[in-house]
Amino acid sequence: MGLLSIYFKPNFLGLLKCLNKLNWFIVFFSLINLSVCIYEDQIGKFDWRQTYVGRIKFSQFDTVSTAKKIIVATEENVLAALNLKTGQVVWRHVFESASTGNIQLLQITEKVVTVSGSNPYLVRGWNSATGVLQFEWSLTLQNDEQADFSEWWVQNDMLVHMLPVFGSHIEVTMYNLATGQNRGSTTKLPAVWANDGCIVTAPYYTCIHGPMGNQQLFSLDVTSNTMHLISQPLSEYVTLSSYDGNLRPLDGNGIIPAFTVDDRKIIVIKNSRFELLKTDVVDPSASVAIVDIANGPVVLQTWIDDTQGFSMRANSVSTGAEVAELRTSDRELRLPEPEVSSAVCTKSAREQLVCRILLTGGDDSVHLMQQGGRILWSREEALANVVAAEFVELPVSDLDAAIESEFDQKEAAKMYSSIWAAFSRRLQTQFQQLQTLVHSIQSGEVLEDDPPSALVRDYFGLHKIIVLVTEVGKIFGMDNLSGSILWQHYEAQLDTEHVLLYTRRAARHPPHDAYLTVVGKHQETGNGLIISLNPITGSLIGERVLQLDVQLLQVAILHRADNEKLHALILLDKDENVQILPQSAAPLVENMFMYVAERNTARVQGYALIYNGQTVEALRTWLVQLGGSADAGHRIVAVAGKAAGERVHSPGRVLADRSVLYKYVNPNLVLFLTEGPDPLHKDVVVATCVDAASGAIVAAQAHRRARALPYVLHTEHYLAYLYYNDKQRRNEIATLELYEGKQRWSGAGAAFTSLWAERAPGVERLAYILPAAPAAAATTATERSLTDKHVLLALTSGAIIEVPWAYLEGRRGGGEEGAMLPAPAPEIMLAPEARLNYNRTLARPRQLYTAPAGLESTSLVLATGLDLFYTRVAPSKTFDLLKDDFDYYLITIVLAALIVATYSTKYFASRKMLKLAWK
């Protein structure tokens, strides 16, 4: 199994050598299987899927049905049922991501009832056990402008809709929950005191109204037939001088109408009267909920204490006495801004309080806590919103590192001046190896199950760590083989709108740790925020969390590493000053160029970075206005440069007549996709290839009556992008291929420089119909770019489809030259067997990330979105790996049988000879 990959690594000759060495038998069997898809028994072997629901908006315990569940409705417009014991998703409905899918209400009676959308609203009932839709009716409000202020709740099997008109009145309508029948007409209740600071604590509508210093607290039960307005001066509850008008409903599913005033006092409406609770809010940031326990309702508060960490306290509503069982403080639990989403408490048979409290953190995590503070399960819902991901190599094991350093020329020269030192070192290493061997034999399989020791590079380089940056500012390190979270780091201040991720030092430089940097913005100031981590352990290293005092325009990574093998970051700030991180790497800046594209004006500015002896300066060198003049109204939809450190194995392509068409591989080429209005053709999409070092436009093409989609691909000499053809009403994919021609422009191995470009490359272009709606696109990436390139398309239907580049080829069907390519067809066939995620449908795929594995044939793929899906693909089949179902036993038995047969025949033959001789 390993043989092939070793021999394959050096070059193509290596493959030939290994073919010679290997049994033809094996090669034959490995080539015979040409199918793309996997077998049934391989399901889940190379891939995993994790389903998420997003940040929880509403939740309620379903204690009615036999299988205990929590029903949640989320900010991502997902309705789901979570298993109470494990936290896994039992069923899930993903609604539209736009406002039409917004969930306004979640109510659990014997059914799960949701109100979703925004005028028209959809009221739906779901079976709580299976999630099957049971009824649905829609509701359109006449008053569309005010509709956003609608409030919904369920009372006595009636759906109550309340629409306040501020400063005037409240409209209340009640509908039959299952049928939508209106009980009577809309009731209009006069309420001049209604304003936008009002809150609903069903069935009361509560407001603070009145001139400054003389505010009144109003509350009205909007569902009762008799209008009874409760009003009290606010000064009875809070001192008005420090009051800032903060009226807040309680968290959780309130069992009695209550609210907090000024984040300090809790007021309950009881018997049509306001009642100030004896318990105050402990901390202004605390989450307050009222939970019914056996002895009557209690006020449950959670907050983060500076000294004690996560804290929780419960006090009885009526007496104010503390419930000791629910008091918790846990310094270990990292749960920023905890919020009680819902809670349920019962008394067990032995008169003990059994509580289940669902907590949501500011980092979108969900935890189910029981009384006493034990966490039953946690879900990291932040992963439903991944904004950036990177595959990071694992470090080699200590022993391998020792061997590597021994044979490293420079190191060796430094350390072992004499031959004896080297010899003793060799003996030592040998001894170490022996020790590990003995140790591993002794401990057997136990060693492999131990996760910390397993975090070393494997033989094929398939094991990596995926670093994921989520929208909420939480950074995760994930094991790519199992999908388990290895570490997490929450940075509340990180604004991840345009977050960038750089691996500045790989783990292959043993004394130094791997180094990964996240460049984002500060939540409040918008200034640059740089977080440096060790991606293996998740601990902060180097600059740690660095807050810049200026906004960043763009960031680049320096191609040359410094003495510590660290690649410096080049930060270009708003005033076009350059900072180098670390500063000591400034002299390494040479032949470095940067470009900054403005999305809305389609202006691209090029800079040359020059080191003047002390600092690095950014010199404006070129300016390109894409899409014509500045007032043409073009905007950039997507930008794609080549992946950093991309290798191009073959400088040309072999044609059918065995001549070579040389590729135009410009490492500085960037593809810009813009769209803008056109007086004649409504919208035009323009794709422009710009040399980012010189600013030269290398190729361009336009599509009329089309709208651009933000999916562009750029690798080697291939470029592709997707757009919506408005005329034909379909999605299309356009491809560009750049070629130098039959002759190479410069000699083999010569340096390519953008600044001396005298010739324009030839462009082969075609567009194909894509019979699906794309959601993301990526190309496969392999270690040495020897294998074919395939395009991966995530579709809105939840599939990831692998399309060979040959089907997108610009030269397809081009007579003699295209003879080696598939027959021309206007439509790309999306074969069901090319679907990477077989029947594991992904909800809302958003982005695809690919990374090379250590094996040349294999590329690792991660799809993010509401779900996470990881798999690996082999575009040219696994030519360097034996098939998964390779029969080791059969071949061993055959070999053994042959050996036995050889020796036995030899013995028999000699006996026969002896007999013959005696005759």
Partner 1 sequence: MSQIKSNKKFKWALDFNQKNRTQATELPSPPGYSQSANASYTEASRDTDSNLLLIKKLWDVALGPLKQVPMNLFIMYMAGNSISIFPIMMVGMLIVRPVKALFATQSTFKMVEGTQATGQKFVYFIGNIVNILLALYKCQSMGLLPTHSSDWLAFEEPQTRVEHIGGGLSLI
Q: Taking CB under 8 A as the rule, does residue 594 contact partner 1? A: yes
Of 9, 169, 264, 498, which lies in the binding site for partner 1, with binding defined by CB under 8 A? 498
For 321, 589, 781, the CA distances from 646, given in Å and listed in that order, are 66, 20, 9
Of 578, 626, 692, 830, which lies in the binding site for partner 1, with binding defined by CB under 8 A? 692
Build a one-symbol-per-residue string for 130-159: x at contacts with partner 1 by CB under 8 A, - elsewhere.
------------------------------
Helix axis angle, 398-407 to 419-443, nearest 10°: 160
Q: Taking CB under 8 A as the rule, does residue 693 contact partner 1? A: yes
Binding region for partner 1 (CB under 8 A) out of 179-187, 272-280, 451-459, 659-667: 659-667
Q: Taking CB under 8 A as the rule, does residue 676 contact partner 1? A: no
Task: State the nearest-atom distance from the C-beta of 311 to partner 1, in Å.
Answer: 38
Give CA 192 to chain center in angstroms.
48
Q: Taking CB under 8 A as the rule, does residue 654 contact partner 1? A: yes
Q: Taking CB under 8 A as the rule, does residue 709 contact partner 1? A: no
> Phi/psi of residue 186, each to 5°?
-75, 130
Is residue 472 within 8 Å of residue 479, measured between CB atoms?
Answer: no
Task: State the nearest-atom distance from the C-beta of 556 to partner 1, in Å.
Answer: 2
Is residue 159 within 8 Å of residue 118, measured between CB atoms?
Answer: no
Q: Taking CB under 8 A as the rule, does residue 647 contact partner 1? A: yes
Binding-site size, partner 1 (CB under 8 A): 58
Of 19, 129, 655, 882, which lies in the binding site for partner 1, with binding defined by CB under 8 A? 655
Task: State the nearest-atom distance from the C-beta of 335 to partner 1, in Å.
Answer: 31
Which distant-in-sequence residues (6+ apart) come within 8 Å of 748 by Cβ? 651
Binding region for partner 1 (CB under 8 A) out of 74-82, 312-320, 405-413, 597-605: 597-605
CA distance 488 to 531: 13
Q: What SS3 state is found at 6?
A: helix
Q: Taking CB under 8 A as the rule, does residue 752 contact partner 1? A: yes
Q: Taking CB under 8 A as the rule, does residue 19 contact partner 1? A: no
Task: State the nearest-atom distance from the C-beta of 714 to partner 1, in Å.
Answer: 12
Q: Taking CB under 8 A as the rule, does residue 755 contact partner 1? A: yes
Q: Taking CB under 8 A as the rule, does residue 12 contact partner 1? A: yes
> Phi/psi of residue 62, each to 5°?
-100, 95
Q: Taking CB under 8 A as the rule, does residue 820 contact partner 1? A: no
Q: Taking CB under 8 A as the rule, does residue 819 contact partner 1? A: no
Per this entry, what is the length of the chain?
Answer: 919
Eight-class DSSP state of 182: B
CA distance 182 to 159: 10
Q: Which residue has the tokens 């309130």?
A: 254
Of 155, 650, 701, 797, which lies in the binding site for partner 1, with binding defined by CB under 8 A? 650
* Window 625-644: residues binding partner 1 (CB under 8 A): 636, 639, 641
Strand ranges, E, within 615-729: 616-625, 635-640, 652-654, 660-663, 669-678, 682-691, 697-704, 706-715, 718-725
Of 34, 349, 441, 751, which lies in the binding site for partner 1, with binding defined by CB under 8 A? 751
CA distance 919 to 913: 10
Is residue 575 within 8 Å of residue 550, measured between CB atoms?
Answer: yes
Question: CB burial class (10 A; 0-12, 13-18, 19+) of residue 220?
Answer: buried
Q: Taking CB under 8 A as the rule, does residue 14 contact partner 1? A: no
Q: Taking CB under 8 A as the rule, does residue 386 contact partner 1? A: no
Task: State the nearest-atom distance from the C-beta of 214 to partner 1, in Å.
Answer: 45
Closer to partner 1 by Cβ: residue 571 or 873: 571
Q: Taking CB under 8 A as the rule, does residue 805 contact partner 1? A: no
Of 750, 823, 914, 916, which lies in the binding site for partner 1, with binding defined by CB under 8 A? 750
Q: Taking CB under 8 A as the rule, does residue 652 contact partner 1? A: yes
Is residue 569 within 8 Å of residue 556, measured between CB atoms?
Answer: yes
Closer to partner 1 by Cβ: residue 309 or 814: 814
CA distance 693 to 709: 26
> β-strands 540-547, 69-74: how paired?
unpaired
Q: Taking CB under 8 A as the rule, does residue 32 contact partner 1? A: no
> Which secondary structure element, helix H or strand E, spans residue 917, and what is its range?
helix 888-918
> β-strands 706-715, 103-108: how paired?
unpaired
Of 81, 139, 468, 556, which lies in the binding site for partner 1, with binding defined by CB under 8 A? 556
CA distance 95 to 477: 29
**Interacting residue ranges for partner 1, rule: CB under 8 A:** 11-12, 498, 500, 521, 526, 551-559, 570, 572, 574, 591-599, 607, 636, 639, 641, 647-652, 654-655, 658-660, 665, 667-668, 670, 692-693, 744, 746, 748-755
